[in-house]
Homo-oligomer: A and B are copies of this chain.
Amino acid sequence: MAGNSYGTLFRITTFGESHGDALGGIIDGCPPGITIDLEAIQFEMSRRKPGQSAIVTQRKEPDDVQFLSGIFEGKTTGTPIGFIIPNTNQKSDDYSHIKDNYRPSHADYVYEKKYGVRDYRGGGRSSARETASRVVAGAVAKQMLPEIKINAYVSSVGPIFLDKSYQELDFSKTENNPVRCPDEEAAVIMEEYIRDIRKQGDTVGGTVTCVIQNVPIGLGEPVFDKLHAELGKAMLSINAVKGFEFGSGFDGAKMKGSEHNDLYNIDGTTKTNLSGGIQGGISNGMDIYFRVAFKPVATIMQKQELLDNKGNITEMTGKGRHDPCVVPRAVPIVEAMAAIVLADFYLINKTY
């Protein structure tokens, strides 16, 4: 109940800190007979892993996933899929600078207050390294739902926004640049900006947009477990996320009903899609799209105040290899969490 599981029928439970021997997880509820492409899973891992480009953290972690159960002769058997991702890059660091200190806008302080104890060698469970396990589960979920297409991409970096709707984009280009923005021009500007920010020893936030296509009608439950409510929770559970909106989102709150209503075509599709593919919490077959806001990474390479556990304010300059901007590596995590949510609702929908 410490909240390390997600989903009801397709259910992922994760474990692991950044500085133990391994992290990993268990995927329960995956139906039998799903063909598993291990290379495709490892590809998703490589999209999330540190050190993949010049604009992300330069830590080197291969993030190789080892499956221990649940797959036999290339297919799922219906039994739980256990996996581990060894931690290969645990340097015997000197942690004295964080052991007794609470870094601003990190979870150090609340962890110590809540648990009375803290594995000070890293961020513990609040480390973004935990999301590696989510990417594994998401990759399995994607293979369970091959007809559904999930494409996330970076839609803003700091003040730089991609001013195109998703319909104008070619998702096949997302992986062509380290920012993961499918618009080449915008990507160049964003990358430039991130390089600048890094030189300043600073960090910057951004947004990720996710588009889900080819979703069957009927996924989602009408009251508390609305499809967009669960997508929202899934996204907000990713490190550094500050906001979620789908369809017309916050802009929709400015509109009139006569502008906002999506009129029907005779085949049940709609002429507009301000609803974002979801009506009353249930997918209506139109594209689902949403936007996720990420704050700037808290660890900066500038001198900053911090609080020690004796109640003194001290100063520290961030050390280590951190991301100047989190959104390029967040793209596969957003897709993974979306896939997990859809896989769960897909199974629930089979019970009607």
Which residues of A line the B interface, CB within 8 A?
A: 1-6, 8-11, 13-17, 20-26, 28-29, 31-33, 66, 68-70, 72, 75, 77-82, 84, 102, 104-107, 109-111, 113-119, 123-126, 130, 156, 158-159, 197, 202-207, 217-218, 221-226, 228-230, 232-234, 236-237, 239, 242-250, 252-268, 270, 274-276, 279-284, 293-300, 302, 304-307, 311-313, 347-352
A264-B307 CB under 8 A given contacts A1-B351, A124-B79, A351-B9: yes
A110-B15 CB under 8 A given contacts A246-B243, A300-B257: no
Please measure, in the bound complex, the distance between the C-alpha atom of A264 and the C-alpha atom of B109, giving whole angstroms: 10
Please measure, in the bound complex, the distance between the C-alpha atom of A264 and the C-alpha atom of B316, giving whole angstroms: 13
Flag if A29 contacts B282 (CB, 8 Å): no
The chain B residue with its CB closest to the CB of A19 is B72
The chain B residue with its CB closest to the CB of A276 is B242
Q: Give the shortest distance, in Å, between A165 (CB) and chain B (any CB).
A: 17
Flag if A247 contacts B242 (CB, 8 Å): yes
Flag if A4 contacts B223 (CB, 8 Å): yes
Flag if B282 contacts A110 (CB, 8 Å): yes
Given the complex, which residues of B lie within 8 Å of A232, measured CB to CB?
Answer: 229, 232-233, 236, 244
Please measure, in the bound complex, the distance between the C-alpha atom of A5 and the C-alpha atom of B11, giving whole angstroms: 10
Q: Copy number in this complex?
A: 4
10 contacts between A and B (CB under 8 A): A2-B29, A3-B226, A5-B28, A16-B82, A110-B283, A111-B280, A229-B237, A255-B295, A274-B295, A347-B351
Given the complex, which residues of B lie within 8 Å of A281, measured CB to CB?
Answer: 107, 126, 237
Please measure, in the bound complex, the distance between the C-alpha atom of A4 and the C-alpha atom of B121, giving whole angstroms: 31
Given the complex, which residues of B lie within 8 Å of A257, measured CB to CB?
Answer: 105, 202-204, 296-300
Flag if B311 contacts A117 (CB, 8 Å): no
Given the complex, which residues of B lie within 8 Å of A156, measured CB to CB?
Answer: 253-254
Given the complex, which residues of B lie within 8 Å of A270, measured CB to CB?
Answer: 104
Flag if A205 contacts B116 (CB, 8 Å): no
User: Contacting A33 at CB < 8 Å: which of B117, B261, B266?
Assistant: B117
User: Contacting A15 at CB < 8 Å: which of B70, B244, B352?
Assistant: B70
Flag if A115 contacts B352 (CB, 8 Å): yes
Given the complex, which residues of B lie within 8 Å of A11, measured CB to CB?
Answer: 1, 5
Please measure, in the bound complex, the distance between the C-alpha atom of A95 and the C-alpha atom of B264, giving whole angstroms: 20
A260-B205 CB under 8 A given contacts A80-B4, A116-B32, A159-B254: yes
User: Contacting A106 at CB < 8 Å: which of B78, B217, B279, B298?
Assistant: B279
Q: Give the shortest distance, in Å, between A193 (CB) and chain B (any CB).
A: 11
User: Contacting A261 at CB < 8 Å: which of B239, B262, B304?
Assistant: B304
Flag if B16 contacts A13 (CB, 8 Å): no
Please measure, in the bound complex, the distance between the C-alpha atom of A104 and the C-alpha atom of B274, giving whole angstroms: 11
Best-surrounded residue of A113, A264, A300, A307 (most CB of chain B within 10 A): A264
A2-B221 CB under 8 A given contacts A68-B16, A77-B118: yes
A1-B347 CB under 8 A given contacts A23-B69, A79-B124, A245-B242: yes
Given the complex, which residues of B lie within 8 Å of A265, measured CB to CB?
Answer: 307
Flag if A68 contacts B254 (CB, 8 Å): no
Please measure, in the bound complex, the distance between the C-alpha atom of A329 and the C-alpha atom of B328, giving whole angstroms: 40
The chain B residue with its CB closest to the CB of A283 is B110
Given the complex, which residues of B lie within 8 Å of A249, measured CB to CB?
Answer: 242-243, 293
Q: Give the shortest distance, in Å, between A255 (CB) and chain B (any CB).
A: 6
